[in-house]
Amino acid sequence: MKTIKKSICFILLFLSSCNFEPVYHRPCMEIPTDWRIQSDETTTCANVDWWEELGDPVLNALVYQALQNNKDLKAAIWRVGEFYGRYQVESSLLYPQVNSDGFALKERFPEEASFLPFGFNPITPHYRFAFNLNYEIDFWGRVRSLSHAACAQLLASAENRRKVVLSLVSGVAQSYILIRQLDRELEVAYATLKDRKEYLRIAKLRFEGGLTSEIEVTQATDVYEETHAAITVLKELIPVQENLLSVLLGEPPTCIVRGSTIDQFRLPFEVPAGLPSELLERRPDIREAEYQLISANAAIGAARAAFFPKVALTSLLGVESFQLKHLFAGTSRAWAYGAQYLQQIFTGGRLTGELYLSIAQKQELLYQYEQTVLQAFREVNDALVGHRQAKELVTVEQRRVAAIKEYLRLAWLRYYDGQTDYLTVLDAERQLFGVEIELTKAQGSVFSTLVDLYKSLGGGWVLEADSSLCSG
């Protein structure tokens, strides 16, 4: 008899260890050994709060405000709570489910009922209070697979929250930098407008003195109004960017406080990108894609286990009586225990379809993961190239500004000496205004590509920002 009991226990233990969930392996991909732009350092500084490196307290305050108030981020936070609830629901099935029930009712039995004792009143009260226990024995790992899938979904939602943090901080910095760039362009435009207004005044005086023709006045008027039109466009673009940044900050469109100018931003000498292989652990979008893949892998185990029978244990312990005063008497004890078995025989192909569905979803998420990794590598390389070229472009534009300023000075000298016409001066003025605007855009591009680089690298700063958000 003891041998039989031991055998039954061994069989139950063996069956409970069965698991149809495939063993997960991270997809093998070709990982580049280095970036296209070589770096002498293999470490990464992507773990720093990089926006503070720009040296603008206003930007720091805006980032903090966005982390506290942005609506998309708040939704992402509650989405994590949603998946945590789902995980609790799925994991609860790993444990016995205990509940209580009871009733107090009056019943009428048929008087011809043979089970009624002689003289028993067919109309009688009936009372019961009991505890029930139900437990599905997870022979095939179905419940465990569902729990694993829900856990991976929970982790994916946490990475999605960090991805929102990454995009939010980068978006705030990008918008603020663009606003300061447009502010600088507006300053250049106003300074140019002031100069051209003076040129127009001089042209009118020369015309009135008979020193030049009306054509020169018309040309001076044209370039003056041209600058006026550029100012009008800039005045339209700046509020649009302020409105965008206001929404990121979680508030209605309003004027944005200014801090440092585009010329006062600090620029790190170098941003070590680290090794490409480290990107798989730093980027929240890559980690999210992998957790989604892990969840789909676990779902296959649940779909496979659905083909096999479910076995559940049930039990009841309580008291039951036809008289309330005897309900808790020793003779009123009631109990029951047993097992339930359920094997689906014919489902019209539903189980097979669910299995194919889970396999197809895993393959789909596999390729999405690989695409996410490739996209991440491309974004880092693009940002490295863009940042380097933007810094070189600033140097080129600075030389152009210096050259055209000299060209304009010489053109005015020759014009006053009567050695050239006003068209030469006009050409120099237009070139100078255009290249000063291009220089300002290049300066803004240096910092916007820096933001792109930090965003593409991911890194510990996302975790730090996320932690400060949760603690705040």
Spatial distance between the Cα atoms of 18 and 57, rounded to a whole number of angstroms:
58
Residue pair 15/247 in contact (Cβ under 8 Å)? The answer is no
197 pLDDT more than 80: yes
State how far the Cα of 72 lies from the Cα of 415, in Å rounded to an integer.
60
Domains of the chain: 16-94+140-191+208-217+235-308+351-471 (1.20.1600.10), 96-137+309-342 (2.20.200.10)
Could you give the count of Cα atoms lying within 13 Å of 20 in the half-sphere of its Cβ?
A: 19
Is residue 92 pLDDT above 50, yes or no? yes
Q: How many CA atoms lie within 13 A of 30 on its CB side?
A: 0
What value does the mean pLDDT take over residues 99-116? 72
Q: Taking the model in full, what pTM does it have?
A: 0.84
pLDDT mean across residues, the chain = 85
* DSSP annotation string for 214-225: HHHHHHHHHHHH
Q: Give the pLDDT band of residue 43 (cuts 50, 70, 90).
A: very low
Whether the predicted pLDDT of 188 surpasses 70: yes
Q: How many Å is the Cα radius of gyration of the chain?
A: 38
Report the pLDDT averaged over residues 455-465.
71
Please name the residues in contact with 286: beta carbons below 8 A apart, sequence gap of 6 or more. 279, 280, 369, 372, 373, 376, 458
The Cα angle at residue 64 between residues 177 and 167, in degrees rounded to 5: 60
Residue 353: per-residue pLDDT: 95
What is the model's pLDDT at position 111?
Answer: 61
pLDDT at residue 246 tops 90: yes
The one-letter amino acid code at 93 reads: L
Residue 363 has pLDDT above 90, yes or no: yes
What's the order of all strands across the beta sheet hosting 123-137? 97-108, 123-137, 310-321, 333-342
pLDDT higher than threshold 50 for residue 42: no
Written as six digits, the tokens of 207 are 């015309």
Cβ density class 164-187: b for 16+ within 10 Å, e for less:
bbbbbbbbbbbbbbbbbbbbbbbe
Averaged pLDDT, 154-168: 93
- What is the per-residue pLDDT for 110? 65
Q: What is the pLDDT of residues 1-29, one digit of tens each?
A: 556 555 545 555 555 556 788 999 988 88
Q: What are phi and psi of 110, to 5 degrees?
A: -60, 135
Residue 403 token pair: 């050259």
Mean pLDDT of the 262-267 span = 88
In angstroms, what CA-CA distances link 296 with 94, 108, 185? 20, 55, 51
